Amino acid sequence: MSTQPANTRPLVWIVTGGSRGIGRAVVERVTAQGDHVISLARGVATSPFTHPQRVMEIKTDVTDSDSVGRAMKTVAEEYGSAHALINVAGVHRGGRIDDLTRESWDLVLATNLTGAFEMSRAAVPLLESGSAIVNVGAVVGLRGFPGDVAYGSAKAGLSGMTQVLAAELAPRNIRVNLVVPGFVDTDMTSGLSERARARIVSSIPAGRTGKPEEIAQVIVDVAGATYMYGATVPVDGGLLNSFSGGAR
């Protein structure tokens, strides 16, 4: 989704999880194009954006419909409409079925799946014809990985939701697609032990982890793809094709 000509208004993006990681990288990429972004997160960015004049930060809990509703009301008042919704916000809690707590399960499902639902439901009335929704999934949502029952379930659900919304919203000329990152260096993955990290990297054909900026590049390209509906786009260094879900 490229910047519009100078004689038209800039594009307006809504990005959840925009304060850090992949979400932050999306914000930086589109504001560098001259577009405007509403960054939604539970907290504000810890360091200044490169183009702060093009970013509106709104503290938002995507699991709370009232919080989401207030954010979208602000978007409507400030911009009138939007051109893209990028659902990045997520949390991770690991654990196998015999030790994962119900609290962790509920948090992961609420943030990664219900949050994307709440955002999509609230944002669709603001999206213009020709707009896009890009959901950010995960390899574990398509291929099983022991110890990731909550995260894998949430991301698998997000894949299904993407397919349904793509069919529902296509007649309104709103495109919905799924981008599937592999192992990316973010705050979410920073807590892994060196042993666990080395094991994962050894299974990636590219031989390295991904960077948030590399994922953001694909997200922005998918948002701008005018004949793409319901697609699943891996950007994972080849991990999905080589992944083995065997016991570990």
Those residues whose C-beta lies under 8 Å from the C-beta of residue 58, and which sit 6 or more positions away, are: 38, 39, 40, 71, 74
Is 37:30 a contact under the CB 8 Å cutoff? yes
SS3 assignment for 147-167 = CEHHHHHHHHHHHHHHHHHHH
Question: Which residue carries 């000329």 as its tokens?
Answer: 173
Is 207:122 a contact under the CB 8 Å cutoff? no
Is 234:182 a contact under the CB 8 Å cutoff? yes
Candidate list 79, 151, 227, 229, residue with the active-site label: 151
CA distance 222 to 177: 7
Q: Is 227 a catalytic residue?
A: no
Residue of 175, 179, 185, 166 whose CA lies nearest to 218: 179
Among all residues, which ones are annotated catalytic? Answer: 151
